[in-house]
Each structure stands twice: as C-alpha cells, then as structure tokens.
C-alpha cells in the first residue's frame, strides 16, 4: 500500500483492550494515532501513553457524531492509512427475557458503528488497510447471544463484500479474536446466562497485546481473515461442517442445566 508506513491509524474502541493494544503497536511503528471511543477520561489516559496520538470522544453508534469525529481527525492528521473498526459492546441474555433495546443497541454499535466509521474512512483514504474486529460468535449460533451474534454475523457480511469491492485499492481484514482479557469480556460476565458460561468456558484467555499482534501480522500481509489460536482457526475453516455437532453439544449443555 502506498505510503501506509507513515500515514495515520484511526481506531475505534481505542481507549482500552484490543483497540488500545493495536494503537500502541502501530504508534511504536511511527504511525500517528487517532483514537475514537465514548469514554473521554479513558481516551485521555490512552493518548497520554503514546506519542503523536489524539483523542476523539464519540459514540460510533451515532452516525453524525462518528462522521464528524472522523472528519476532524482527517483535518488534524490527514487521511488514514489504517482504519480499524474495533468498537463493540456485548450483553448476553436469553432471548425471551432480554429487552429488544439490548438487540438494537448491540446492532447499532457493533454493525452500524463499524459501517459509519468504515465509510467515512474509505471515502478519504485512497488506499490503505481497513480492519474489522468481529467475534467467534459470527461463526455459529451460541446460546445467550441472540442480540450480539447477529451484529457480528452482519459485520462479517460487510467485510466479505468490501473485500471484493475495494480491492486492490484497500485491503480488508476481518479478525475473529478468542476470549481476550478486556473490559468488554468482564462486562459480558455480568449478564451471561449460566448455560452460556458453560458453553464458552475452556477456550483459554488471550492478552490484548497478543491478539493485536496477530491482527497486525495478518493485515500487514494483506490477509483477509485473522483467527488467533487453535479454537478460532478450527471454527474459521470448519464451522459449516461442525455446525450440526455444535448444535447437538449445546443442546446437551442446556438439558444438563435445566435438570
């Protein structure tokens, strides 16, 4: 990609977790960094931890606010060479007891927020790298994720289309992080049903730094997918074939917990 080595990196959800780790690693390479997130205080702390970084407090779920923040960052730094849509929220819950508002909020942030950000960046960047951070929940239906999983399935669909439409000008990468030690994972635990905890247990826990390094390594090479770890790699390649077995296994977990 022309000049991406010195062009700025724009990252949503950049105040903590994987987003912050990505920002620090790109900053260490010499990229100016623009961080977008809702929590202004955490953003201030984040930009203070690296050189040539600026904070753009905004809620990516609000189109006007997201577009205005990207426009300001472009005015400050120039068009991005990297645009990473990482912001996301997760609130697990059982479909029959979870309010529709939870579904709307997760779709609006996880999918629409990524869409708003990607469009604003792609319109300006000419060429470069566009990265979407999805989830293993985009591979198959998981008990307790009726609000979260569809937003990540939708994000996967967007990335699949843009991979074709934007090539070769913009390289698109879609990441499927395993469970990562982030504030979002801690927040998920507060509402995660017992069945969901049993289903998602045992996959190990990655650090944000290791996940970020895996994402950048694959994106640097122009690869479309990033699936760190054996579990995510297996799901990436085998999820369609394994879907019946995964459904049967989940049904067994549900029966056990309902006895």
134 counts as catalytic: yes
- In which residue are the tokens 């955490």 written? 42
The verdict on whether 256 is a catalytic residue reads no
Classify residue 137 by its DSSP letter.
Answer: G
Please tell me which residue in 148, 171, 176, 192 is annotated as part of the active site: 148
Catalytic residue among 15, 16, 134, 146: 134
d(CA 85, CA 220): 16
Q: What is the rounded distance in angstroms from the CA atom of residue 73 to the CA atom of residue 67?
A: 10
Of the candidates 15, 16, 145, 152, the residue annotated as catalytic is 152
DSSP H stretches of helix in the chain:
17-28, 40-48, 63-77, 100-107, 113-125, 149-165, 183-191, 194-200, 208-220, 229-258
Which strands, in side-by-side order, build the sheet including 33-37? 53-57, 33-37, 9-12, 82-85, 128-133, 170-175, 225-226
Specify whether the CB–CB gap between 206 and 229 falls below 8 A. Answer: yes
- The whole-angstrom separation of Cα 102 and Cα 80 is 32
Residue 240 known to be catalytic: no
Angle at 30 between CA 121 and CA 27, to 5 degrees: 70
Rounded Cα–Cα distance for residues 251 and 255 (Å)? 6
CB count in 10 Å sphere of residue 242: 15
- Which residues carry out catalysis? 134, 148, 152
């Amino acid at each position: 990609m022309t000049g991406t080595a010195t062009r700025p990196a724009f990252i949503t959800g950049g105040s903590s977790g994987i987003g912050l780790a990505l920002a620090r690693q790109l900053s260490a390479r010499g990229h100016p960094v623009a961080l977008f997130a809702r929590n202004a205080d955490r953003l201030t702390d984040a930009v203070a931890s690296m050189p040539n970084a600026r904070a753009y407090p905004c809620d990516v779920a609000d189109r006007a606010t997201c577009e205005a923040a990207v426009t300001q960052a472009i005015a400050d730094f120039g068009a991005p060479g990297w645009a990473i849509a990482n912001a996301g929220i997760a609130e697990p819950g059982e479909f029959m007891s979870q309010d529709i508002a939870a579904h709307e909020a997760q779709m609006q942030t996880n999918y629409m927020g990524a869409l708003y950000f990607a469009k604003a960046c792609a319109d300006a960047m000419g060429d470069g790298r566009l990265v979407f951070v999805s989830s293993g929940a985009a591979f198959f239906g998981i008990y307790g994720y009726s609000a979260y999983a569809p937003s990540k399935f939708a994000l996967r669909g967007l990335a699949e289309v843009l991979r074709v439409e934007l090539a070769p000008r913009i390289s698109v990468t879609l990441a499927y992080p395993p469970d990562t030690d982030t504030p979002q994972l801690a927040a998920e635990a507060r509402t995660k049903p017992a069945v969901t905890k049993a289903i998602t247990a045992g996959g190990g826990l990655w650090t944000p730094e290791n996940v970020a390094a895996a994402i950048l390594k694959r994106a640097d090479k122009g690869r479309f997918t990033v699936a760190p770890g054996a579990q995510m790699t297996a799901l990436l390649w085998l999820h369609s074939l394994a879907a019946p077995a995964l459904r049967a296994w989940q049904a067994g977990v549900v029966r056990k917990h309902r006895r």
